[in-house]
Amino acid sequence: MNFTSKLLFWYQQNKRELPWRNTQDPYVVWLSEVILQQTRVNQGLAYFEAFVKTFPTVFDLAAAEEETVLKLWQGLGYYSRARNLHHTAQAVVENFNGKFPESYQQLLKLKGVGDYTASAIASICFNEPQPVVDGNVYRVLSRVFGIETPIDTTTGQKAFKTQAKKLIDESQPGEFNQALMEFGATHCTPQKPACESCPFQSNCVAFQLQKVDRLPIKNGKTKIQTRYFNYLVVVSSDEKTLLEKRTEGIWKNLYQFPLIEKETLTHIQKKEVMECFPNLEIDSLVLYNENPIIHKLSHRHLHIQFWVVYTAPLNGEGIAVDWLKKFPVPVVIHNFIESFSF
């Protein structure tokens, strides 16, 4: 079986027309790869277009305020990648005069650029035969070649990288990498792959051994932590509210309403709120959502309640409620702001 030639032929017949495939500009390719690590193409396309429109060049992105970048990223999650995106743009401008390094090894030196992103840019933009290995690639290679080494181990990651290196078309490495990722994303999918029309069916180990639904193999399961958040939404009689900026964690540098975290789901008492806002005259406290919102992240499940705190005028403190939508916030808070009538 000539896997590579079959894959490239399939790609020419089936590839989706996507804007980042019409260029070898490393800035554009880099943006697309970082965004698509977070989401599927149908959702990521809108984010990609927004970033390219707002920041047409790496100089524009480097010069932006971090809050502007975070606001544009809002809803994608993994906000450290947005911060790294901004830092990397600044490094490219400051250290390379706005020109991306042209080799895999040099690209790896950029903050936030790992093996996957460096391989993608090096192969697509600079024709360097560096194989890309992502979730789609793990799935295709494990099934077609029957690789049962767990993908969440160092041994497994090396094995898949080695296999991809053997297969890559050195004359068109970027095309090969995009073809392999596309095949995994649209044909050899996690659920209900199109095995009946697969060009590799007769040679696919997983298909022959009826193991398609069991590959790839992943060893560990992430331990999920449950946390209980109570957001205090101040609504003053002079139409202001309070926000605070997070200084750590996955939502670092995003804004949120003042927070009381509990060990269990429990009602907040007015005296607890008064302790949080000792200088505020509190009129009333109202629970907005009787049923907690369960916000699922990769390592934790957040049980969230919003408490509306009606107060006397904030005068010189706080921000006007009309300004709320300008701040970068976690998506769960964004959804609350959209639904709540201030």
DSSP output for 97-143? TT---SSHHHHTTSTT--HHHHHHHHHHHH--------HHHHHHHHH
The label of the residue with tokens 């991809």 reads: 164
CA 335 centroid distance within chain = 18
Which of 56, 166, 44, 178 shows the shortest CA–CA distance to 120? 178
Structure tokens at 40: 């599927």
Query: Which active-site residues does the annotation give?
Result: 33
Give the integer Cα–Cα distance in Å for 177 and 97.
28
Structure tokens at 269: 């008492």
- The CB-side HSE value for 40 (13 A sphere, CA atoms) comes to 6
The answer for residues whose C-beta is within 8 angstroms of residue 210's C-beta and 6 or more apart is none
* DSSP secondary structure letter of residue 196: G
CB neighbourhood size of 21 (10 A) = 17
| Whole-number CA gyration radius for the chain | 24
- The CB-side HSE value for 8 (13 A sphere, CA atoms) comes to 14
